Structure 1
Amino acid sequence: MREIIHIFHTNDLHSHFTYWKRSQSFIQIQRQILAEKGETSFLVDLGDHLDRSNLYTEATLGKGNIKMLNDADYDVVTIGNNEGITLSYNLLYQLYDDAQFEVVVANLYSQSEENPSWMKPYTILTTQYGTKIAVIAATAPFDLFYKELGWNVTNPRTELVKLAFELKKHADIIVCLSHLGITEDELLAQECPIIDVIFGSHTHHVFEKGQVENNVLLTGGGKFGQYTGQLTVEFDHASRKVVEKSDRLFENALLPTVEEEEQWLSNLQKEAKAILEKPIFTLTKPYNKEWFHRSQLSDLFAECMYDYTEADCVMFNAGIFVEPLRKGLISTYDIHKIFPHPINICVVQITGNELKEIFTQSENEDWPRLELKGLGFRGVIFGKILNYGIEMTKQRELYINGKLMEPDRIYRLATLDLFTFGYFFPSFKYAKKQYFLPEFIRDVFKNYCMKKFQ
């Protein structure tokens, strides 16, 4: 007997709910059709379902996303970095308490207590014909962030390979939910070909029909709810082996619309505003934003960063201000509209000579109009990099707070975590630094303004 099994998959939604209802309606209809044919199906999500740049996710602190997954009858999910490092320890610990599905992640451990009861290293799904599918999963190891938040994250490939070999004794099929990115998926496939399928995410890659690596099928479903994936596996009961496997993507924008889709999206916004619109302070004047030079809002934010970090100098990009700060009653909703980014403050320790090099690099004329996607940035354009407490004379002498820079002295530069990943300033990746977690820049700014203006 040959059994046909289907696994529908979603990934990296990042709280882009535009096509959520039609995608889930499509999956539900397809699963009903398959059930009538006697073919078992499952539904999995690969992480980064939530993103706190979305007002509804922010207002519900991710619990609204879990309700959506429950309502859609998901079977198994794993967590991405947006679940893992954009929530405080307690919020993540309790995030899936009401989940009606399995949550699998093999490489995350609490530093101070037992892992939450919902967090499992693997699960086993069983089809109606008794075929056992082992589901293993791991998330990207953002070591410094997890450590600061109270978690230990281990090497994902090591954990997955060990689990795969252990579970091969008990399962007919092994699949991996990977929130690691395409490069790690390929390396895992090379190292552990006993895994049948690696569902891929994190790097937002797209494989319209999957990609085979060392006889392991890799999938990739893009980002932001672009696609719904469907894996089909043919399992031979006589040989106890997978004899066929294939994957395909459905473009969600082209799926049939569902009744009251727009109303549902509108209701999410209304619910979020109702939670976030309580006034928290009052302004007697507006603070304008500018993307290509300093502004009243950037001066206020720099003042806030000095107060929060007690650093020697401050650097950030002007594009973080999505909207101005208006006059009158200000709510958490207003602050979120200005700073939708899941970005944290970081203090980097560098020498005077290194700081001079960083200042010179920050003057890059190509960066202000860069339409940056990723690294936590959720703005329109990157904007000019603004330096506070740092000035360079025409003679190329650098002054820190009015004093001539000392080449070997260690200075504390307060900046944004997006600059520390090596893309803009490679030297930051290896410098000594302190991340201020779990507060986002909007939380720090809100608290400062509540203190300053009340």
Structure 2
Amino acid sequence: MLTIQRTMSLGSLLLCLLACCAGYSKGFTANNLVYPGQNEFFELSIVHLNDFHARFVQTSYTSGTCHKGKDLECIGGLGRVVTASRQLMQERPNAIFLNAGDHYQGTLWYNVHKWNATVHFMNKLPHDAMTIGNHDFDDKIAGLVPFLERAKAPVVVTNIDIAEEPSLRGYFQNSSVITRGNQTIGVIGVILKTTNTLSSTENLRFLDEVETVNAEAERLRARGVNIIIVLSHAGLDVDRIMAANCPEIDVIVGGHSHTFLYTGIIIFATLEIQSLQLHLIAGKPPFIDEPEDEYPVVVRQKAAAGSSRAPRTVLIVQAAAYTKYLGNLTVWFTPEGEVADWEGNPILLDSSIEEDPEIMEELMPWAQVVEETGQAVVGETRSFLNSSCRSGECNLANLITDAMVYSYQGKGGPKHWTYAAISCMNAGGIRNSIPPGVITYGDVVTVQPFENTWDVVEIRGEDLRFVLEESVSRSYEKDKFVGAGFLHWAGIRVVYNITKPAFSRIVDLSVRCQACEKPLYEPLDEDDWYRVVVPTFVLKGGDNMTALQERHRRREPGPLDVDEIIEYIKAISPFNQTHHSMIPERDDLYRLQSTAPGPHSGPDAAAAASGANRWLMLWRDDDNDRTAASQQSTAWSRYLCYVEAMQSQGHKFDQKYVLEAMFRGNDLVYRSNSASTASV
């Protein structure tokens, strides 16, 4: 049985309770404009899903494989999406169901069944409209067309130019109009304009999001459409830009960035009002995910110069990814179609929500084929393999880049310890974590679902330096590394000065030799040529990292990524990725040298010196006015990995015990929100 409660801010809750005791009634909404008996506004309920990524069945809390015996700990899956969405659509007035794209890719289900299962089961959901995401092009246009041909719901996207790809003609439209009550609701689809750098889009052109949305919104307004929703697969950052610069839109239902939004604070209070005790608990996030912002994100547009029109309010929502949550927003509109008030929060699809029995029965024959392939055990990890790789070094990236070099080890000929001593992996290609325990074939596919090959290219030293500069310059924003294009390396030692201008931040660089019997590190020779193992996605300029695509020579097609990761895991199992490597000298790869400026005091000094943990380390040396980055471990990153590993073993951590790391002078100082500090 599913019980879905409406949420409210603490201020609204207190105001409402106090008002009730005084005989005055207000509502549980953001602006307190909606209350029982009020009928001035039009109420619209938006149920939404984004970034399904082939999560047909329930997953672990990290959105990986749900192993046998762990069912009560598992979440999501299509059965729960169907249960929750159908109930919401039945109960809520004027409800609509929207899907923000990226149906394809992410688990063995997609690798086995491709578009066939995807469109079959997407048609089981009560869609009013859907858009497409960048990963829906991963099998090129020919892999997307069968889905579009069979999709029952309108597919909307307004910023794709198909002039040079006529095979897509007629399969989607700029927008769709939905009627609820006496209101017309326009839904405009949009996809990220850089999608051509993210997937196999062939000759399609992707146009500016703001310009195309504005043009379509004006067309809808001219037709008398009163409420306009943008169904976006462009990510929260672009959604904020559209919200500020698209004057005709009301709500953006987003995807792509897998952003968890939530409104609520953790509090327990007892109020005594006229001898009546009221115990209040206000909206704590329901799971381990930390919200990036409130749900919804509220953007107040600026009034246009010379316009008498009041500044408008635009709401942005997104529901993380992988069927972990179902979006649940209610908006009240004025008769003029302006946003007046709102309430809601995403719903966690945990084991308390029943999986729809008809859907589960229908999934069974499809699941049997997947399970026969995916349940084969390939190894065992004693450590949590962390996929949080977009803001720093992570042990799962280390495992993968080690495996890339290992796949070519012993193929270099006499007096060559390997054929290629260097490898790189883009952070966006590492899709899921693996908890401690057995590793199955399905786990590996969930980590690397894109069926890339690991090719070898030759690149001159000068150009290799530029590739490193490109990665750190385009991925570093606001004192941290972000983005799918951040490159992880094996066979490289590098120090960056991130206070320097972009593309001139390397201050020290050495590389591992390949033409040697024993691997050693030596200064980069800018005129020499180096062999590097690279995923095909990166070689195609994926994630807008174009340097390797443009500057390599002699590309040699290589083996499939999943096959080689499995061989490497078999070779090292059981293993603890913090320490274990089959690659010679790997433990020295990112060691913080004692002569380098950095945190040589404090609780992380021993770990920094040992080189046992190879994460990204930032340090500040005020005497030299430089901030450097070395491939090493921050206590913060290690602590998060530690917490996730402990959680996977059943331990519970309250948010108040989360450590905060900050820089103070030359030392990395640790601050805890509680008196006790976890030992990391």
Match of 1:258 in 2: 355
Partners of 1:434 and 1:75 lie apart in 2 by: 46
SS in structure 2 at match of 1:221: coil
Q: Conserved in 2, the CA contact under 8 Å of 1:176 and 1:199? A: yes
Deviation at 1:232, TM superposition (A): 1.7
1:272-291 equivalences in 2 (<5 Å): 272=370, 291=399
Q: 2:535 aligns with which of 413, 416, 421?
A: 416
Deviation at 1:80, TM superposition (A): 1.3
Match of 1:210 in 2: 296
SS in structure 2 at match of 1:97: helix
Deviation at 1:245, TM superposition (A): 3.6
The 1:207–1:412 alpha-carbon spacing in structure 2 relative to 1, beyond 3 Å, is same
- Is the strand fraction higher in 1 or 2? 1
Deviation at 1:433, TM superposition (A): 3.3
Tell me the alpha carbon deviations over residues 65-90 of structure 1, each in whole angstroms, 9 at most, x when there is no partner.
22222112211111111112x11221
1:429-440 equivalences in 2 (<5 Å): 429-430=546-547, 432-433=549-550
The 1:356–1:162 alpha-carbon spacing in structure 2 relative to 1, beyond 3 Å, is closer
Match of 1:133 in 2: 185
Match of 1:91 in 2: 143
1:341-420 equivalences in 2 (<5 Å): 341-342=449-450, 344=452, 350-355=459-464, 375=484, 384=490, 396=522, 407-408=526-527, 413-416=532-535
Q: 1:11 aligns with which of 36, 45, 50?
A: 50
Partners of 2:401 and 2:211 lie apart in 1 by: 47
SS in structure 2 at match of 1:96: helix
Q: Which amino acid aligns with 1:243?
A: A
Match of 1:451 in 2: none
Q: Conserved in 1, the CA contact under 8 Å of 2:538 and 2:549? A: no
Partners of 1:344 and 1:95 lie apart in 2 by: 22
Q: TM-score, normalised by structure 2?
A: 0.48
Partners of 2:215 and 2:379 lie apart in 1 by: 55
Match of 2:226 in 1: 172
Match of 1:44 in 2: 98
Deviation at 1:186, TM superposition (A): 0.9
The question of 1:33 aligning with 2:33 is answered no
Q: Which amino acid aligns with 1:189?
A: A
Partners of 1:302 and 1:172 lie apart in 2 by: 67
Q: Conserved in 2, the CA contact under 8 Å of 1:48 and 1:83? A: yes
Unmatched runs of 5 consecutive residues or more in structure 1: 278-285, 304-310, 323-332, 363-371, 399-404, 447-454
The 1:299–1:77 alpha-carbon spacing in structure 2 relative to 1, beyond 3 Å, is same
Q: TM-score, normalised by structure 1?
A: 0.69
The question of 1:184 aligning with 2:293 is answered no
The 1:298–1:263 alpha-carbon spacing in structure 2 relative to 1, beyond 3 Å, is farther
The 1:434–1:103 alpha-carbon spacing in structure 2 relative to 1, beyond 3 Å, is farther
Match of 2:606 in 1: none
The 1:172–1:312 alpha-carbon spacing in structure 2 relative to 1, beyond 3 Å, is same
SS in structure 2 at match of 1:94: helix
Q: Conserved in 2, the CA contact under 8 Å of 1:339 and 1:441? A: no
The percentage of counterpart residues that share the same residue type is 20
The question of 1:104 aligning with 2:143 is answered no
Deviation at 1:9, TM superposition (A): 0.3
Partners of 1:314 and 1:77 lie apart in 2 by: 42
Tell me the alpha carbon deviations over residues 278-312 of structure 1, each in whole angstroms, 9 at most, x when there is no partner.
xxxxxxxx999994896799335997xxxxxxx99
SS in structure 2 at match of 1:174: strand
Match of 1:442 in 2: 560
Tell me the alpha carbon deviations over residues 91-121 of structure 1, each in whole angstroms, 9 at most, x when there is no partner.
1122221111011111223323253422111
Q: Conserved in 1, the CA contact under 8 Å of 2:421 and 2:491? A: no
Q: Conserved in 2, the CA contact under 8 Å of 1:26 and 1:255? A: no
The question of 1:63 aligning with 2:116 is answered yes
The 1:291–1:393 alpha-carbon spacing in structure 2 relative to 1, beyond 3 Å, is closer
Partners of 1:165 and 1:358 lie apart in 2 by: 43
Match of 1:232 in 2: 330
Partners of 2:347 and 2:41 lie apart in 1 by: 26
Match of 1:330 in 2: none
Unmatched runs of 5 consecutive residues or more in structure 2: 1-39, 59-75, 263-294, 301-312, 382-397, 412-418, 433-440, 472-480, 493-511, 565-680
Q: 1:298 aligns with which of 406, 426, 433?
A: 406
Deviation at 1:229, TM superposition (A): 1.2
Deviation at 1:144, TM superposition (A): 3.5
Match of 1:151 in 2: 204
The question of 1:199 aligning with 2:253 is answered yes
Partners of 2:202 and 2:341 lie apart in 1 by: 43
SS in structure 1 at match of 2:252: strand
SS in structure 1 at match of 2:257: coil
The 1:135–1:29 alpha-carbon spacing in structure 2 relative to 1, beyond 3 Å, is same
Tell me the alpha carbon deviations over residues 31-58 of structure 1, each in whole angstroms, 9 at most, x when there is no partner.
2233xxxx3211111112322x312222
SS in structure 2 at match of 1:60: helix
Partners of 1:236 and 1:78 lie apart in 2 by: 27
Deviation at 1:411, TM superposition (A): 7.0
Greater Rg over alpha carbons, structure = 2
Deviation at 1:133, TM superposition (A): 0.9
Match of 1:402 in 2: none
Deviation at 1:258, TM superposition (A): 3.0
Deviation at 1:193, TM superposition (A): 3.1
The answer to which structure, 1 or 2, has the higher relative contact order (CA under 8 A, 6+ apart) is 1
Q: Which amino acid aligns with 2:522?
A: R
SS in structure 1 at match of 2:331: strand
- Is the helix fraction higher in 1 or 2? 1
SS in structure 2 at match of 1:217: strand
The 1:98–1:336 alpha-carbon spacing in structure 2 relative to 1, beyond 3 Å, is farther
The 1:385–1:302 alpha-carbon spacing in structure 2 relative to 1, beyond 3 Å, is farther
Deviation at 1:442, TM superposition (A): 3.2
Partners of 1:412 and 1:395 lie apart in 2 by: 15
Deviation at 1:160, TM superposition (A): 1.3
The 1:202–1:361 alpha-carbon spacing in structure 2 relative to 1, beyond 3 Å, is closer
Q: How many positions carry a matched residue from both structures?
A: 388
Deviation at 1:429, TM superposition (A): 4.4
Tell me the alpha carbon deviations over residues 203-262 of structure 1, each in whole angstroms, 9 at most, x when there is no partner.
12222231111211011211221211122232344x454433444211111642236587
Partners of 2:208 and 2:404 lie apart in 1 by: 45
Q: Which amino acid aligns with 2:185?
A: I
SS in structure 1 at match of 2:247: coil
Match of 2:340 in 1: 243
Q: Conserved in 2, the CA contact under 8 Å of 1:349 and 1:433? A: no
The 1:418–1:113 alpha-carbon spacing in structure 2 relative to 1, beyond 3 Å, is closer
Partners of 1:101 and 1:49 lie apart in 2 by: 14
The 1:411–1:113 alpha-carbon spacing in structure 2 relative to 1, beyond 3 Å, is farther
